[in-house]
Structure 1
Amino acid sequence: MRDYRTMKFTSIQNLKSCVLPLLATSILLGVVAEAEAQFRPRVSLPVVPGTGKKINSVGDNFENEDWTYHPNLPKSSRNIDGQGRYPTGQSNNGRIYESSYRGQPDLIKRITTPAGGLPNSKGALLLRSLHTGVPKRSSLKSQQDDLLMNVGGIVGRLSVSRTPNFVVRVYFPSWDQWEDATDTAFGLRASVVGTGFIHEGNKDKYKKKRFSLFSRSPKKENEVFWPGMFVQFNSKTDGKNEEDSAMIIIRSGPDGKDFVGPMIWNPGWWTMGMSFTPDGKAHYYASEGVDNLTTKDHIASVHPYGSKIKYFSTFFFNICNQNDGRTWSTPFVIDDPEVFVVK
């Protein structure tokens, strides 16, 4: 007669001998998978500029009729001749200012909002330059002036864990008012801090370098850099373009090279913006008109220069011309620059 109790006991022992190793393997695989997940780069979805809570203490709407700008001339040109001239220019409300590195536009003036602007907007800001670069000195080559929004000086730099983002309306005048040169005319850029592999002793920080057995390895550092969007005018008088147009150029790809974005066939109001997500990427958006940006207006999402962005400090505007001492830059108008955070 069979002893079923013994057989049952034997079956459990056999079961343990099979299941326990499988269970241990499963637990081990789970631990490995969890460890891999911790080190796997986190990918964030692009965030549309204008998303989240608006930071009311920064930005401007230029609605105050008493708004004015104090240029405190002469402007700075430290990027060219090492001269940072103080005090630098700033608006009377402290929300916009001149960089001591590259000087402000020659004309910064509150004007009546051009037709087609934001509903109920009465005031906007005109930006224009004659002598870009060193004050009252012609270089006969393309140069630029900068005008900065005071973000970091008011609220401090913003971690990308909060998904900071900004948006602004920009007025592009009729083609006959643009400086007649196929070149960069305008820029909207951010000042950010990011981490990337920087070669010690290499002035061109984003240029690949060969290493010998005795050379130092790349060093991972925090760097300030300035991703953004340029607007290039394509003149029909240059012999290459059949009609006037403009195009958005993105700075930059992971390799540090600029790349072409959408074309601008119709001058007038455009909405432009950028966002910065916890995965260290910059996201670029632009659309014709003054409506709020949407997912359809997404241009690109990249790690500029191959660097992972950690902090957003501010954003600023570039005004460019050929600096011949006679020709004013294209008259650009900006309105309602705003900053938001998601968290």
Structure 2
Amino acid sequence: MPSPRSPHTTPDTSSLAASGRRAFAVEIDALAAVADRLDGEFSAACRLMLETRGRVVCTGMGKSGHIARKIAATLASTGTPAFYVHPGEAAHGDLGMIIDADVVLALSYSGESDEILLLLPVLKRQGNKLISMTGRPQSSMARESDVHLDVSVPAEACPLALAPTSSTTASLAMGDALAVALLEARGFTADDFARSHPAGALGRRLLLHITDVMHAGDDVPAVGPDATVSEALVEMSRKRLGMTAVVDAERRLLGLYTDGDLRRSLDDADVDLRTTPIARVMTKAPRTIDAGALAVEAAQLMEAHKISGLLVVDAEQRVVGALNIHDLLRARVV
């Protein structure tokens, strides 16, 4: 069995980089060629996907199958219900996943994939609309389709013209173009995207509320205005948030005392930690945030004012929660 490496020479760094740049150049040319051909067929494909009462079913064999999977994932995450079906498995029962209202997007650069051609009569009898993405407008798949997207490329980046390279890049870009056009046509927003990506960074930033990350109830550090500084320090130490709220009998906010305030108190010769009331040394108009706000708003407020903690208040300025930067870090909001 021949070695995959040449036994004669070891290419130097510059020649390897030059090969990579040539591949980029070939693929850039391929993308430009496909982009120039976007026309009424592209618009027709978008309309079929927009008007369907079902889903977009993507299918393809081999490398085209990998691209079809990615296209299905991109469509699904940007507002167009879609999924991938392996054409070989479809012929052995998975066709039952496809209903008559679905639009089928089939990928094959040659347009002659036996596994897909085998499915076409069944799909046509069922009434499915077919969009094909091939590199040969005269191919069997192109002729049998309701809409054909031409992704033919001038050359593959592979110097042997064997490995699908430029052609798969062009197909992937065509899928992205469909997803973006549909996204814009549907008025799909960042909030919509976040709802389908609750575990992602954007989802956390747009969906996570203060109430999801704040400390509440007995975990909120709070003392009355007559408490001494030392009593406030005990509360701060117990609740471990580096601060305590100062509240009245109705838990309405009067002020805030923090680790920074403590350092300033220690520098003040007139402050006796055991006898000085907290009302004398507290910050009387601290930054707060509403319980209905997003967690990312708390992060922005902390960053803007160079603070590490916030009290959460309701409409009557009652303290209902507290959080610090570590809570936001644990929630991966920042």
TM-score scaled to structure 1, two decimals?
A: 0.22
Higher RCO, 1 vs 2 (CA within 8 Å, ≥6 residues apart):
1
Structure 1 or 2: larger helix share? 2
Name whichever structure is richer in strand by fraction.
Answer: 1
